[in-house]
Amino acid sequence: MTEEDSVTVQAMKMLSDPQFNKLNQRLNRVNVFDAIDMGRQEIKHSAFLAWLMDPSSPHALGDLFIRRLLAQLYKENIRNHHSDELADDFASLAADDLTEIEVVREREAHIDILLKTLDNRMVICIENKVDAWLHA
């Protein structure tokens, strides 16, 4: 078997791997920002996301978007950390009334989107980056 054959075999294995296909599907989803030619406009992404997250915005979603975000964070926490304490915190937050959550953009400490409850029991900082790698 030549090196070229070996690469072809490896490529075929990768293309038939269910995890690779799942990842590929996630990466190739329709992006509404690309559809309206704003795919790289980070500030407009943040404005739209903040609007969706703000229960007082006139989108008729109330706190549904925040609740879905918390549910996703909860699932990720369980999957990655198996922390019962954090899981309980997310579960109790999900039961709270989140209609009074404050959504702040680009003001406090240059945080792209800041979500916080009035009692500061929950504070979520979102750094929105387009085409950037995760780094400290």
Cβ atoms of 100 and 118 within 8 Å: the answer is: yes
Angle between helices 18-27 and 3-16 (to 10 degrees): 70
Looking at per-residue pLDDT, the higher value among 43 and 6 belongs to 43
pLDDT band, very low/low/confident/very high, at 87 (cuts 50, 70, 90): low
Q: Which residues pair with 124 in a beta bridge?
A: 115
* Long-range contacts of residues 126-134, Cβ cutoff 8 Å, at least 24 apart: 126/46, 126/49, 128/42, 128/45, 128/46, 128/49, 129/42, 130/39, 130/40, 130/41, 130/42, 130/45, 131/40
Across 51-57, average pLDDT: 92
Question: How many other CB atoms are found less than 10 A from the CB of residue 133?
Answer: 5
Domain chopping of the chain, boundaries: 41-126
Query: How much is the pLDDT for 57?
Result: 92
Query: How much is the pLDDT for 91?
Result: 65
pLDDT in tens, 5-32: 677 888 788 788 888 778 777 777 777 7
For the chain, what is the mean pLDDT?
A: 79
Backbone angles phi, psi at 109, to 5 degrees: 55, 30
Q: What whole-number percentage of the chain has pLDDT above 70?
A: 79
